[in-house]
Every structure is written in C-alpha cells, then in structure tokens.
C-alpha cells in the first residue's frame, strides 16, 4: 500500500461529452509501474485497440507525473506525455519539464487522460479538482507564448501553468509538439494528437500538498543524492553554466556530430561558430525548472542582422544539431531565431531540422528544384531558408505542406528515389549523434519503442566515457546488446517513471541510480523495492511498450537503421572509416533479443518473459 508520494487520483476527461471524472490510482499500478512513462504506457496499452487512427477521436493523450514530482526531491518537475504516435504508428512518449508537471500534481492528479474530440476548439481549466471546459475559438491560430498569455489574462492569474499547441498542432503536422512555457513535449507528433482533439491548451493551478511516507527517510535519501550532485565534476561546475550545448564540442571531438544530412560528419565541425564559447557571447541568463538547483536551460539573445532581438530558451544541443549541423548552417543567430520560432509554432526542433536537411540534400541532388520550392534556395548552409521553411511547414503552405509530416512521409510524396536520403527509424527522425561512431547508441536507435530516440537508452558510456556499469569501446559491436538493455531499463525506471531529470543519471547518480530510486520510493511512498526490483520495473515497461508496437505490426524488420549508416563509412574526424554494417547490426540485435528474453527471429516478447514480468494478460493478447 502506498501512503505517500501520490495524490492517488487520475482525472479522465472526455472532450466529446465535455465530462470529467476522477478515478482512484490503483495500488498495483503504483507498485508495478511507479509513475510517469510507466503510467502512460500502461494506460495506452490497456485502453487502445489495435489499429486506432492516431489522429482519430479514439486515440488518447495521457499526461502523467511520478511520485517525486511536487515533493522536495530536486530535479523532479518532469512528466510523460503519451499517445499513439501519428508520426510512427508506435508508442509516442515524450518527457518534458518546467513548472507544469508540479502544478498538475498540486492541482490534484497523478495522471490526466484526455479522450474524444471537442466539437470546437476548447481549453481545459483545472484548479484543485474543479474542471472547466472553456471556449478556445479566439485562441485558435495563436502562437504558444501568445496563447499562454491570453489564457493567463482571461483567468486573471499570471501564475497559472499552461501546456498548449501552436499552429503546427492545429494544422495536424506530425512534427508538432506540446509547449509549456518554452519547454516542450517534443517529437512523435503529440501536438498533432492534441490538435486533432480540438484541444488548444490545458491550464492548471493547485495548492495540494503531496503526502510523504517518512520525512526522516526522505531527508536521508535526499542527502545522499545531494552529495553525489555536489561531487560531480561536471554538474555544477560546467553543466549548470553551459547546459547541453557543450555536447557540440564533445561530439565534434569524437567525430560524431552529424552534418549535412549525415554526409559530412567529421568534416563539418562548427565548434567555433556553435560551441560553448560561441554561445557565451549570446547568453543573457538561465532558467530553472521547478525545484531544480542546477538551472541548465540557457537564455540566448540573437545579436546580428535580421535576427537581432530574438530570445530563445536554448538552443539546446539537439537543436544546434538539427538547425545547425544537419542543415550545414553555422550562423548562430539564425539558429537561435529558428529555435524560438519553432517553439512559437509548436514544432519539434529535431524532426523539423532533420526534415529540412533532408529537403536540402534533395535540392542539392536535383530531386527538388526551385519549381518545387516556389523559388526557395534549399542549398546546405542557407539559414534564411531554414527560418522560412518553419513557417511554411507549420501552416502547410507550398513545399512546407510536403515536409510537414517528416522525412518518411515526405519521401513517399516526392518519390524519385528520395527514400534513400530519408534518415529515420520507424518514421522518427534521427537525433544528433552519428552512431557509426557509437554502436550501442545505434542499437538503441534501432530498438527504442519510440523509434530513433536518444532519450530511451542513452549510451553515456560511449558519449562521455563513463565506465558504468562497465567501460566500453564505442567502435565495437560485441556486448552492446546487453548494454543497451541495461541503459533502456535503468533510464526508464530511475528517470522517466519517478519522474527525475535524466541529466542526473548521466552526470551524478549513475553509480547508485537504482539504489537512489529505491530509497526515494520507500521514503516517499512507503513501497519497498530492492535495486533489482527497480530495474525490473524498467524492464516491465519496456516489454509492455514493445508489446503495444508488436500489436501494431512492428517486429525485427523494423529494428533497423538507414542504409546510409550501414553502407557509407564516415569520411573524416575521430571516427573516420566507421559504420554499422548490416552484419554488425544483426549480431547486436541477436544479443539484444537474447538478453531481453524475446524471440530472436521476430523480436517479439515471449510468453515466458511476459509472465515473468507479471504481464500474462499481455501474452494472451499477443497470442505469444
């Protein structure tokens, strides 16, 4: 029985009927899935039938926080947003921070399930258990910052926290994200799901206090965590001052910063233009998520040419990759502007930038011409074209309409062999690490349940040289199956479910992450776990997500990488000459499936494994 950590309530909102009901958070769900991503994936599997249209009224959009959220545990203002992805057709799950997650919990809920579709645009107003459906017709068409400000003005409270969509979500771009005060639940097209329901925004305010099982145990657990954070050689001395952009310098040094649609990795290395020192010349401050002592989000101000005066929370490393390296752009102020514009339009920066870079390669190869682009010059390095294309994509105008749904769909629309240059896994565009020089990272791209997603099983062992659980050679394929399973399960259980910031796992608590989570869970909830049981929670959730995808027709053949990564070796840099051959990927997959206890031929969880994890009902549904 949990006696703290949770409010103990789930809010279910049916937009079709404009009805809201409260449900009790089941004890067994708390014990077996912890919270956050665990709750989202559990609800999604149990409540969605196979074959549901991701943009249809039957899809559900789930916002879920964890037991650490809203407590005194630092770096815990996180939540998962989950739905069937309109971009991939698989599980769509994204994590986001800021202040909205804590406010949702204080408003009285551990999870919010949105179902159905409103007849006209609406926004939800949730305050201490009171739910109102408010007309959002006047908000339809607004950018995200304007939308949030209008709602705060209308409700006469500037301290309300809001998650909303921009024009991209309204126009059902499959690259649309959900924005809350410039933080984003990005990727997988979750903003399009929200738009398909005619839901413009969710506003929350609450005063609920999260109960704690044992304040003495919590003090001790927090103390151990704080010690580890202070001892970290990078968390406070570097990361809090520079944020994720420092990874531009790191990945360029490793020869894995992808460039020009992954044709010039190791050759185009814009450290002087886009690295840490360059960002320092644009920095005007930093922002903190609720309850975070680190404050990694950097505020940067464009200071040149037509971009003068644009202010962005970022760009983060992935955005410097997507609007910079991927497009061959080294104009920092143009990237800052593109970052802010994407946030305002509600476009995921990774997928949007990768899609633009894809279009640029097609233009360079003559597959697209100025006739297709209405005169727009899409050569690599054209920062003005990047900015223009974001508007065209969000509003589905001209070439933007073709690109608005990502590289896989765009390639099908364009034809002429464009599929060869579309870099994605399961429909999700590749993030900013060229995995030809980091093979566990590559196996994670191939096997993550969301598609090519660095956040599902980040191989910090390869990227930062951290020898936990052991040291690895990033160029070697052997042993990466077991390592990828460990990374995926531990990251899920210690970050995405409690919910905690993943940067702590990478930089401070990796050496005792499982023990740390077990201690926090006992202190907060009264539920006891061994470190091994915490890891099993992560394994259970990854198996359930895999089962959802299997039910949708995904299997081993979808666990692959773009041909470019398997056939073309890197031409320059510290990883020169490396690739992931088809044979290496096949061997890594075999090892991964064996480590997971899945069928090696199909890549689908076996009945034995599902029953071992308490998921017998899932095995029945899969006929495993």
Return the CA Rg of the chain. Answer: 22
**pLDDT for position 182:** 81
pLDDT band, residue 578 (cuts 50/70/90): very high
Query: What is the Cα–Cα distance from 331 to 381, expressed in whole angstroms?
Result: 8
pLDDT at 269: 98
What is the reported pLDDT for 177?
Answer: 98
**Do 122 and 199 contact (CB within 8 A), yes or no?**
yes
The residue among 505 and 156 whose pLDDT is bigger is 156
Identify which of 121, 86, 166 has the alpha carbon closest to the alpha carbon of residue 15.
Answer: 121
Taking each continuous run of H as one helix and of E as one strand, the counts in the chain are 27, 17
Kindly state the average pLDDT of the residues 565-577.
98
* 519-529: average pLDDT: 98
User: Mean pLDDT over residues 152-167, rounded?
Assistant: 98
Looking at 108-117, 135-144, 239-248, which range is the least confident one?
239-248
70 touches 4 (CB < 8 A)? no
Mean per-residue pLDDT of the chain: 97
Mark residue 275 as left, alpha or beta (left: phi above 0; alpha: psi -120 to 50; beta: remaining).
Answer: beta
Give all domains of the chain, ordered by start, each with its CATH number: 9-205 (3.60.9.10), 244-423 (1.10.569.10), 435-561+581-622 (1.10.599.10)
Distance from C-alpha of 520 to C-alpha of 212, rounded to nearest angstrom:
10
pLDDT for 493: 98
Average pLDDT for 261-288: 97
In this predicted structure, what is the pLDDT of residue 623? 86
pLDDT at 505: 80
pLDDT in tens, 596-624: 999 999 999 999 999 999 999 999 999 86
pLDDT digits (tens, 9 = 90+) for 398-457: 999 999 999 999 999 999 999 999 999 999 999 999 999 999 999 999 999 999 999 999
pLDDT band at 504; cut points 50, 70, 90:
confident
How would you list the strands of the sheet with 122-127, edge to edge? 130-135, 122-127, 199-205, 161-164, 178-180, 183-185
Q: How far apart are CA 620 and CA 26, in angstroms?
A: 22
pLDDT higher than 90, residue 115: yes
Whether the pLDDT of residue 68 is over 80: the answer is yes
Mean pLDDT of 482-488: 98
């Amino acid at each position: 029985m949990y006696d703290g950590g949770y409010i103990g309530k789930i809010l279910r909102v049916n937009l079709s009927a404009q009805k809201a009901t409260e449900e009790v958070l089941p004890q067994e769900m708390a014990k077996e899935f912890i919270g956050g991503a665990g709750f989202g994936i559990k609800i999604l599997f149990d409540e969605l039938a196979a074959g549901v249209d991701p943009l249809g009224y039957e899809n559900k959009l789930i916002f879920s926080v964890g037991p650490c959220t809203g407590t005194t545990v630092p770096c815990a203002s996180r939540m998962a947003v989950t739905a069937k992805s309109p971009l991939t057709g698989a599980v769509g799950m994204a994590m986001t921070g800021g202040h909205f997650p804590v406010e949702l919990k204080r408003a009285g809920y551990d999870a919010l399930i949105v179902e159905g579709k409103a007849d006209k645009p609406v926004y939800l107003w949730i305050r201490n258990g009171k739910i109102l459906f408010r007309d959002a017709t006047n908000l339809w068409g607004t950018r995200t910052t304007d939308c949030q400000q209008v709602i705060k003005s209308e409700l006469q409270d500037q301290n309300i926290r809001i998650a909303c969509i921009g024009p991209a979500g309204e126009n059902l771009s499959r690259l649309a994200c959900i924005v809350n005060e410039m933080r984003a639940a990005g990727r997988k097209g979750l903003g399009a799901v929200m738009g398909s329901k005619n839901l413009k925004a969710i506003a929350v305010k609450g005063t609920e206090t999260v109960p704690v099982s044992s304040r003495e145990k919590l003090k001790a657990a927090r103390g151990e965590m704080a010690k580890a954070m202070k001892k970290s050689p990078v968390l406070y001395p570097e990361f809090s001052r520079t944020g994720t952009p420092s990874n531009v310098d790191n990945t360029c040094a490793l020869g894995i910063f992808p460039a020009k649609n992954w044709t010039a990795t190791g050759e185009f290395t814009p450290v002087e233009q886009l690295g840490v020192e360059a960002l320092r010349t644009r920095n005007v401050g930093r922002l903190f998520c609720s309850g975070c002592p680190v404050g990694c989000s950097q505020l940067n101000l464009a200071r040149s040419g037509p971009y003068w005066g644009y202010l962005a929370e970022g760009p983060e490393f992935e955005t410097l990759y997507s609007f910079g390296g991927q497009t061959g752009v080294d104009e920092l102020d143009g990237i800052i502007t593109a970052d802010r514009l994407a946030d305002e339009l509600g476009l995921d920066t990774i997928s949007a930038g990768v899609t633009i870079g894809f279009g640029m390669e097609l233009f360079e190869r003559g597959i697209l011409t100025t006739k297709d682009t209405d005169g727009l010059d899409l050569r690599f390095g054209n920062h003005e074209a990047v900015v223009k294309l974001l508007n065209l994509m969000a509003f589905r105008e001209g070439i933007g309409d073709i690109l608005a749904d990502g590289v896989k769909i765009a390639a099908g629309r364009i034809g002429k062999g464009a599929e060869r240059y579309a870099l994605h896994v399961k429909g999700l565009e590749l993030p900013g690490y060229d995995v030809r020089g980091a093979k566990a990272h590559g196996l994670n791209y191939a096997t993550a349940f969301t598609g090519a997603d660095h956040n599902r099983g980040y191989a910090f062992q390869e990227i930062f040289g951290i020898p936990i659980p052991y040291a690895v050679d990033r160029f070697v394929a052997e042993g990466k199956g077991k390592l990828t399973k460990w990374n995926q399960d531990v990251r899920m259980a210690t970050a995405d479910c409690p919910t905690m910031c993943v940067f702590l796992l990478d930089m401070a608590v990796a050496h005792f992450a499982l023990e740390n989570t077990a201690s926090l869970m006992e202190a907060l909830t009264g539920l006891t776990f061994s470190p091994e049981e915490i890891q099993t929670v992560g394994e259970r959730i990854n198996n359930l997500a895999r089962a959802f995808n299997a039910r949708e027709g995904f299997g081993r053949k979808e666990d692959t990488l773009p041909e470019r990564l398997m056939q073309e070796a890197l031409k320059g840099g510290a990883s020169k000459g490396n690739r992931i051959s088809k044979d290496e990927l096949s061997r890594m997959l075999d090892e991964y499936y064996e480590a997971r206890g899945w069928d090696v031929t199909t890549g689908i969880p076996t009945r034995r494994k599902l029953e071992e994890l308490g998921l017998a009902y899932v095995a029945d549904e899969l006929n495993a």
